[in-house]
Structure 1
Amino acid sequence: MIIGRCVGETSLSEVNFISKKMPKVGEYVSLSYDGKNVLGMIDSLVRGSVSLNGEIYNPDTIEMIKALEGDDYYIKGKIKILGDFDDNLRLPRTPAPPGTPVEIASSDVLDVIFKSENSLKLGNLINQSDVEVNVDINKMVSRHLAILAMTGAGKSNTVSVLIDGLLDVNGAIFVFDMHSEYSNCEFQNGEVNLIKPVINPIYMSFEEIKGLANIKGSAHIQERYFRNAFKQARAIVKNGEADTTDFLQIIYDVLNKRFNNEDIPSSEKNKIMDVINKIEDLQDKYGQLFNTNIGNILSKIELGKVNVLDLGHSDEFAAEVLVSHILRNALKSRKASVHGLDENGLEFPVFFILEEAHILAPNSRNPSSKFWISRIAREGRKFGLGLCLVSQSPKSIDHDALSQVNNMIILRLVEPQDQRHVQSASENLSEDLVKQLPSLNIGEAMVLGLMSKVPTLVKIDEFKGRSHGGDIDIISSWSSYKSNKDESLKKDEKELKDLGYNY
């Protein structure tokens, strides 16, 4: 169906067109010229009238013109050229001639574009709901992904749909679950493998535990004492010489033994005591994080399951250490496994999903988690380690980490700073596409990147399993609390009356 014709100067990347029929932004169109069948996407639209132009200042004049001419208006739009769909979507070498007909792309053509092997169904086109949108799993995992949206736009549903699709191909998914959303989820295609946020300290780096102990980089003397005690404690555990499974207690004992050495001068003892005090604080805050009786946390990851590290009860610093520890060891283990250096290494690819990515890889700070997220983003592709950054505050995510992500699912974004930050990190997000982000409804998304052959506006499928990512029903919670309180008071009154008290 012809909806309009190209006008004015055209280029290899875009054309303007005029229409009398109203298409939709994001709709796919086809242009046939010079023996090519070219696919395009409507980027922007305006509606205007030659007669009712901006030079009229009298409403009565407008009424008179409308009475004479009726609803005589034109539609002007811009089309982004996506490529020749008969030539693997390669960009044409010649621009479309002015006057070239613009037609709505057929469902048959779009079905071919959005169907491929090794794909995962995200949903359906917003403007042509009969066309399914599938994304390439290999390119999604190896080239990383970001899921970005304002609160309540449908991030949790999108993540759950992705997880279920990956489970259908026996994927290994690892979720850093910051708010315990996925711990009790039920997926149609696989089970949840819940992993406790506990580390065997013999697999930790000194930098990971130093941050928890609040020893600053400028405290060189404290760092030296702590480093020596850490190394000794780890050797004691590895050699089976420890009397306790409490790793921090072993460090404490090492330092205390040195403190009680009569040959140590008092000035040095004061420095040792400073470190001992920090160890005691560390025991109070993070003692539950360490366990010398468990293996490497990577050994808990199971293929064909969604492996969930529940961080709902961990504070920000503990979460950063756990993320750093797991990503560092995963990269080391996959390198050893791929190069045949370790038979017990991580033997299969893993897709890491990081909720609250703006906390774990922030713009404003440099936690160890941020370093390893960026490192995986740069190197993980070679070793089958993929990242998915999920956030409702894109402007707060480290720009370097976000720019390493080659795929994006962007749901509704209203905040201009969020839009600009995402646009600066993605070469595929044009100014015209950015303008569409505030108008997306809940569950609608813009899909960009290598996992999709063309930029796409998608209505994400509704997750069919059971999840806990939605908003709390505030009114029901208030009513339930009041009801329970009233029942409790009545029960107390009855017990008092039964005991003979009247009031």
Structure 2
Amino acid sequence: MVVGICVGETSLTEVTFISDKMPKVGEYVTIEYDGKKVLGMIENLIRGNDALNVDINDFKAIQKISKIGVEDNYIRGKVKILGDVNDNLKLPRTPVLPGTEINLADKDVLEEIFKVKNPIKIGTLVNQSDVDVNVEANPILSRHLAILAMTGAGKSNTVSVLIDQLLNYSIPIFVFDMHGEYVGAEFPNGEVNVIKPKLNPKYMSFNEIKKLVSITGNAFIQERYFREAFYDASNKISEGTEETVNFLDLIYNFLNVKYTDAEGNVDKSAADVMNKITDAKIKYSNLFYQNAPNVISKIEYGKVNVLDLSQTDEYVASVLVSHVLRNSLQRSKDAAHSGNKEDLIKNSVFFILEEAHILAPKKRDSDSKRWIQRVAREGRKFGLGLCLVSQSPKTVDHDALSQMNNMIILRLVEPEDQRHVQSASESLSQDLVNQLPSLNVGEAIVLGLMTKVPTLVKIDEFKGRSHGDDMDIASYFANIKQKEDEELKRQEQETLDMGYDY
């Protein structure tokens, strides 16, 4: 089917065409010239009328012209060149000849484009629902992924579809679940392993515990006291001499013994640190567990491992995220340095971070942000993958976001969000950015190493059960009112049945 004819000057990357019928943005087309069959994507469309130009200001004249000037209507579009279908989508070395016809791409051509070695089916083409969209699993796992959307655009559904598809490969998935959306989820292809946020202080780094004890960066004397006590406690744990004593108690006891004089007076700075340790033990009584195993040791293969952060504040969530990522990266590095490739692959984990704008904020530092950046840079060498999920892309750290070599972008309306995402992606053109506000719920632009071509996708509906939907508040309270009215009527009827009258 002929879509249009190339006009004007053409280039190796795009062509302009004129059409007598309205195609759709996101449709794939083929252009045959110079012995090549080149695939392209319609990225821009406009309608116009030469007679009804913007320089005419007379309303009555416009009315008359509109009645007789229908034949002057035209459709102009722009096609982005994606590559030669018969040469592994390599970009052509010669531009299209003006006057060349542009045709809609055949279904068999598109099916070949979306045929990959390790398929992850995420949906169908928006404009051709009979063509499945499969992306390649390995680039997602090794080159990272961002799922970005405004609230209510279908982000949670997309994450759930992705998780369920990855479970087909028994890949260990680890979700930092900020709102408890996945704790009670049911996935057709696998089970959920809920991990409670319990930390054994002996597995924590000096900086992690220092943060939780609220010793700030400018409290140099307190930090010096705490560091001395921390490493003394670590040595005792390593030597096995104080295994039964709580790690924070070891730190407290060291300070108490060393900095209390014969009269029972405690050094002021040491006392300040001891008080902060006591406060931390009370505040985080549900977080610290002396006999808790290392969190990453609880990861189970072939399951969705969900760390439930719904009852923790952002500060604790940041510490937990940094703790897990730090330990996981260190474990994978140790496996790599041992020279055992099988151990390295066995330690692979795909981390999904909900609320990435909180865990990796753009304008402030945090422990979680630093380790997210580090895993984003180094993780692919050691089998660690990241998926950043956010409804506020503009507030996600640019360095972390730019390391996401794959993106699934659902509806984004705010211009600042759009600019921030575009600056972090090499393959998101301005024409595609312009389409983001017009996407319907569940529709997305998919691009990056996981797909051969940028794609406009209708994401599949998740077939399992999750808790990502908005609450039906109106119905809830309406049902309460209805039940109250029914109860009142029941009581009135009982009164009448007993022979009483109002």
Shorter chain as denominator, the TM-score bin is over 0.9
1:248 lines up with 2:248 in the alignment: yes
Match of 2:335, as an amino acid?
S
**How far apart are the structure 2 equivalents of 1:3 and 1:117?**
32
**How far apart are the structure 1 equivalents of 2:107 and 2:465?**
33
Query: What is the Cα deviation at residue 123 of structure 1?
Result: 0.1
Map residues 422-433 of structure 1 onto 2, 5 A cutoff.
Answer: 422-433=421-432
**How far apart are the structure 1 equivalents of 2:486 and 2:38?**
70
CA contact (8 A) 1:201 1:234 kept: no
1:154 lines up with 2:154 in the alignment: yes
Q: Residue 70 of structure 2 aligns with which residue?
A: 70
Map residues 160-179 of structure 1 onto 2, 5 A cutoff.
Answer: 160-179=160-179
C-alpha change, 1:364 and 1:66, in structure 2 (3 Å) is closer
**How far apart are the structure 2 equivalents of 1:401 and 1:52?**
48
C-alpha change, 1:91 and 1:263, in structure 2 (3 Å) is farther
Q: Residue 402 of structure 1 aligns with which residue?
A: 401
Secondary structure of 2:329's counterpart equals helix
Secondary structure of 1:289's counterpart equals coil
Q: Residue 206 of structure 1 aligns with which residue?
A: 206
Task: Provide, for residues 79-105 of structure 1, a one-character-per-residue CA deviation record: whole Å limited to 9, x for no partner.
Answer: 111010110000000000100101111
**How far apart are the structure 2 equivalents of 1:482 and 1:118?**
53
Q: Could you list the runs of 5+ residues in structure 2 that have no partner in the other structure?
A: 491-502
1:443 lines up with 2:442 in the alignment: yes
CA contact (8 A) 2:331 2:347 kept: no
**How far apart are the structure 1 equivalents of 2:155 and 2:247?**
39
Percent of aligned positions with the same letter in both sequences? 63
CA contact (8 A) 1:5 1:19 kept: yes
**How far apart are the structure 2 equivalents of 1:48 and 1:167?**
49
CA contact (8 A) 1:411 1:445 kept: yes
Query: What is the Cα deviation at residue 368 of structure 1?
Result: 1.1
Query: What is the Cα deviation at residue 243 of structure 1?
Result: 7.7
**How far apart are the structure 1 equivalents of 2:68 and 2:164?**
59
**How far apart are the structure 2 equivalents of 1:259 and 1:485?**
65
Map residues 295-374 of structure 1 onto 2, 5 A cutoff.
Answer: 295-340=293-338, 347-374=346-373
Match of 1:331, as an amino acid?
L
Query: What is the Cα deviation at residue 169 of structure 1?
Result: 1.2
Q: After superposing the two structures, state which structure 1 stretch, 194-203 or 241-250, moved more.
A: 241-250
Count of matched residue positions in the alignment of Structure 1 and Structure 2: 491
1:98 lines up with 2:103 in the alignment: no
Q: Residue 137 of structure 1 aligns with which residue?
A: 137
Secondary structure of 1:18's counterpart equals strand
**How far apart are the structure 2 equivalents of 1:386 and 1:41?**
30
**How far apart are the structure 2 equivalents of 1:369 and 1:464?**
32
Query: What is the Cα deviation at residue 64 of structure 1?
Result: 2.3
C-alpha change, 1:121 and 1:472, in structure 2 (3 Å) is same
Q: Could you list the runs of 5+ residues in structure 1 that have no partner in the other structure?
A: 492-503
C-alpha change, 1:188 and 1:341, in structure 2 (3 Å) is same
Query: What is the Cα deviation at residue 251 of structure 1?
Result: 2.2
Task: Provide, for residues 432-470 of structure 1, a one-character-per-residue CA deviation record: whole Å limited to 9, x for no partner.
Answer: 110000000000000010001000000000000010000
Task: Provide, for residues 312-343 of structure 1, a one-character-per-residue CA deviation record: whole Å limited to 9, x for no partner.
Answer: 00111111111101101111101111332799
Query: What is the Cα deviation at residue 289 of structure 1?
Result: 1.6
Secondary structure of 1:436's counterpart equals helix
Query: What is the Cα deviation at residue 259 of structure 1?
Result: 3.5
1:421 lines up with 2:420 in the alignment: yes
CA contact (8 A) 1:244 1:250 kept: no
Task: Provide, for residues 285-321 of structure 1, a one-character-per-residue CA deviation record: whole Å limited to 9, x for no partner.
Answer: 2232222212221111111000000000011111111
**How far apart are the structure 2 equivalents of 1:475 and 1:393?**
26
Query: What is the Cα deviation at residue 254 of structure 1?
Result: 2.2
Task: Provide, for residues 138-162 of structure 1, a one-character-per-residue CA deviation record: whole Å limited to 9, x for no partner.
Answer: 0111000000000010110000000
Q: Residue 500 of structure 1 aligns with which residue?
A: none
CA contact (8 A) 1:202 1:238 kept: no
Map residues 273-292 of structure 1 onto 2, 5 A cutoff.
Answer: 273-292=271-290
**How far apart are the structure 2 equivalents of 1:139 and 1:28?**
23
Match of 1:332, as an amino acid?
Q
Q: Residue 497 of structure 1 aligns with which residue?
A: none
C-alpha change, 1:52 and 1:243, in structure 2 (3 Å) is closer
Q: After superposing the two structures, state which structure 1 stretch, 123-132 or 286-295, moved more.
A: 286-295
Task: Provide, for residues 378-413 of structure 1, a one-character-per-residue CA deviation record: whole Å limited to 9, x for no partner.
Answer: 111111100000000000001000011100000000
Q: Residue 496 of structure 1 aligns with which residue?
A: none
1:470 lines up with 2:464 in the alignment: no
Task: Provide, for residues 214-264 of structure 1, a one-character-per-residue CA deviation record: whole Å limited to 9, x for no partner.
Answer: 111121110011112222223333444448553323322222222333299
Map residues 220-259 of structure 1 onto 2, 5 A cutoff.
Answer: 220-242=220-242, 246-259=246-259
**How far apart are the structure 1 equivalents of 2:242 and 2:487?**
51
**How far apart are the structure 1 equivalents of 2:486 and 2:58?**
68
C-alpha change, 1:194 and 1:152, in structure 2 (3 Å) is same
Query: What is the Cα deviation at residue 115 of structure 1?
Result: 1.4
**How far apart are the structure 2 equivalents of 1:427 and 1:11?**
19
C-alpha change, 1:223 and 1:489, in structure 2 (3 Å) is farther
**How far apart are the structure 2 equivalents of 1:64 and 1:483?**
58
C-alpha change, 1:488 and 1:372, in structure 2 (3 Å) is farther
C-alpha change, 1:486 and 1:226, in structure 2 (3 Å) is farther
Map residues 477-488 of structure 1 onto 2, 5 A cutoff.
Answer: 477-480=476-479
Q: After superposing the two structures, state which structure 1 stretch, 359-368 or 345-354, moved more.
A: 345-354
CA contact (8 A) 1:247 1:291 kept: no
Task: Provide, for residues 329-359 of structure 1, a one-character-per-residue CA deviation record: whole Å limited to 9, x for no partner.
Answer: 1111011113327998883311000000011
Map residues 121-132 of structure 1 onto 2, 5 A cutoff.
Answer: 121-132=121-132
1:2 lines up with 2:6 in the alignment: no
Q: TM-score, normalised by structure 1?
A: 0.93
Query: What is the Cα deviation at residue 25 of structure 1?
Result: 0.8
CA contact (8 A) 2:202 2:247 kept: no
CA contact (8 A) 1:8 1:16 kept: yes
Secondary structure of 2:113's counterpart equals helix
